[in-house]
Each structure stands twice: as C-alpha cells, then as structure tokens.
Amino acid sequence: MNNSNQLVCTFVSKKKLDTNSVVNFFSKIQNTNHFEILSSRALDLYCDPFNKINEKKLRKFCLKKKIDICIQKIKFRKKKLFFSDMDATIIHNETLDDLVKIAGIKIDIEKTTKLAMEGKIGLRETLKLRVNYLKGKNISLISKVLKNIKFRDGASVLVKTLNRNDYHSVLITGGFQPISTYVAKYLGFKKHVSNKFVTKNGKFTGDYIPITGHKNSKLFYLNKVCNEMKISKIKDVISIGDGSNDLKMLKASGLGIGFMAHKIIQENIKNQIRFTDLRTVLFYLGFKEKEFIY
Ligand SMILES: [Mg+2]
C-alpha cells in the first residue's frame, strides 16, 4: 500500500451489507489488497486506481443493490473541516417555504424552490421573491417554523462524532437566522452562516441581508474559512448538500457529498448518499460504527 494513488471504496447499506456479493462483484473489475469492516452494514475495500469504465460498472452495481458508495484517495481521507448545507440536508424542511406557508401565503412555493435547487431558475431572484411575500407579516411566525423542524436521521451523531474528533463543523445555508441559529445550536455546529431577515417593529420588511454579496456565497465562505484556518480545500474539507447552490462548494471540497440530492448534484458530484442516512458520512471518513458518539 505504498502507492500514493491508492483508493478506498466504502460501501454502506441501510441494513446488513451483503459483503459477499460486493466483494464478488468487485473482484471482477479490480484486485483488492486490503479490506476493513466498519460495521455490519459498512465495508472499506482498498485498491489501485481503476479505469472509468470499471468505476461506472461499480457505481451501477451499487445503485441497483441500493448501496451507497464513496471512492476516494486514501491519502486525503482524513479531514479537518466539515461544511454542511441546512435545508433538505441536515433537516428535512425547506424552512423559508415553511415560513411562507405558515404565513398563509397561497402560492406554489415548493415548485419554485425545486426549480431553483435544480438550477433551472435563478436562486437569488426566487429567494428575493419568497422573502418579499413575508412583507408586513409578524416575525413571531418563525417560532412555528422551529416547532416543525425535523432533523435528518444521523444528524446529531454526525456532528457530535466530528466535534469529538476535532473537526471544525460549519452549518452554511441560504436559509435564515434565527432558524439556522436554532439548528446549529441544537446539533452542536461550531459555527453557522446564513442570511438575515430585515425586520422593523416586529414585522418582516420583505428585505434581507445576504450571507455575502458574492454569487457563490457558500464557496466564497469556504475559501474564507480555509484561509483563516490555513488548510487546504482538497486535502482537508468534507462538505455535503443537496441543491444547485451547493454545487460549487461540493466540487471545491476534497470530498463533496450529494445528499438525497437534486438532479444537478446527482449528475455533477460522484459520491452520493441516496439510500442511507447522515451517519454514512462518518463511514466515508473511515470511522467505525463503534466509534460513533450518540
Ligand atoms: Mg439544501
């Protein structure tokens, strides 16, 4: 295992992993020189780099078997910084849509958000539009959104385990404070970055203060944190997200993971979580299940 290009392929299934069928299929396309059982449902196979055709075959096999797979270089596996999207990633909700609905505004907001997350319409424009619907509504409506927040399975153990292992965890969202503040605190993120509503006399003005003035706020912020921490994006960063506004951040990270993602992320990011939950991120990073902090 001296080859610095050595790969590790991680396989994760929802229930017990059929390791025999994985190893059998794998042996047809590549020799494996080492394996590691991470849990009854997660396995690492180490190997030399393989060609694109074989990688495609392997990914197709996993898709058919409903197994999540991550392929990465061993030498960059350990990371230092975790960047996570919020809406539809670390929680089930799209919180701005929830807020607009709770405010009683009757528009097909989910459809607009879906198109924006697929990169088919401008994100910034739709965000502006959605915030504008709230103009004149009472900010106390936010407390109702907080009550309806549903965390994704594995969210808490993921953040706790990373924190305990000296990762710097950042929640970055096109969503809004104080919703992101609540989510970040509840899960234990060390930092959170989000948009802010402009309010006056307890009411929304219909305006907001964006994370940054930049088009790709998440990537901009990732660069900023990496500079501050003096770390490398390719070596040290793992990030996760589901929508078009996460794409640049995921692409720039050493390990960018699509989570239950929109098509644009599925088509442009190789490593995905489709069938399991957020604990799979820990397996991708090489943690064994017995090391998870609950
Ligand atoms: Mg999202």
What confidence tens digit (pLDDT) does each residue in 180-206 have? 999 999 999 999 999 999 999 999 999
What percentage of the chain exceeds 90 in pLDDT? 84
Check if the beta carbon of residue 270 is closer than 8 Å to that of residue 69: no
For residue 231, report the distance from its CA to the centre of ligand 1, in Å. 25
- Measured between alpha carbons, how far is 227 from 212 in angstroms, rounded to an integer? 16
The pLDDT assigned to 107 comes to: 79
131 CA from centroid of ligand 1 (Å): 17
Question: Phi and psi dihedrals of 163, rounded to 5?
Answer: -60, -45
Q: Taking ligand 1, which is a single-atom ion, which protein residues have CB atoms under 5 Å away?
A: 85, 87-89, 242-243
The alpha carbon of 91 and the centre of ligand 1 are apart by a number of angstroms equal to 9
Q: Does 229 have pLDDT greater than 90?
A: yes
| Section 30-36 average pLDDT | 88
Sign of CA dihedral 165, 167, 172, 178: positive
Residue ranges with strand state E in 55-190? 68-73, 81-84, 168-177
Query: Rounded to the nearest whole angstrom, what is the distance from the C-alpha of residue 191 to the centroid of ligand 1?
Result: 17
Q: Residues 152-163: pLDDT tens digits?
A: 999 999 999 999
Q: How many Å lie between the centroid of ligand 1 and the Cα of residue 244? A: 8
86 Cα to the center of ligand 1, angstroms: 6
If you measure from the C-alpha of residue 35 to the centroid of ligand 1, how many angstroms do you get, rounded to a whole number? Answer: 34
Q: Provide the CA 180 distance to its chain's centre, in angstroms.
A: 15
| Sheet strand arrangement including 272-273 | 203-209, 191-200, 168-177, 81-84, 237-241, 255-259, 272-273
Would the pLDDT of 214 be above 80? no
Q: Which tokens hold the place of 160? A: 């706790």
| Separation of alpha carbons 130 and 34, rounded Å | 52
Task: Select the more confidently predicted residue: 30 or 265.
Answer: 265
Quote the ligand 1 centre to 167 CA distance (angstroms): 22
Rounded to the nearest angstrom, the distance between the alpha carbon of 88 and the centre of ligand 1 is 5
User: For the chain, what is the mean pLDDT?
Assistant: 94
27 CA distance to ligand 1 centroid (A)?
A: 37
- CA 74 – ligand 1 centroid, Å: 28
The segment(s) of the chain belonging to CATH 3.30.70.260 are: 1-77
Three-state DSSP class for 221? helix
CATH architecture designation of domain 1-77: 2-Layer Sandwich (3.30)
Tokens in use for 3?
Answer: 């080859």
78-294 topology per CATH: Rossmann fold (3.40.50)
How confident is residue 1, by pLDDT bands cut at 50, 70 and 90? Answer: very low
Angle of helix 95-102 relative to helix 123-133, nearest 10 degrees?
30
Is the confidence at residue 56, as pLDDT, over 80? yes
Distance 117 CA to ligand 1 centre (A): 8
Residue 4 CA, ligand 1 centroid: distance in Å = 34
- Segments of the chain assigned to CATH 3.40.50.1000: 78-294
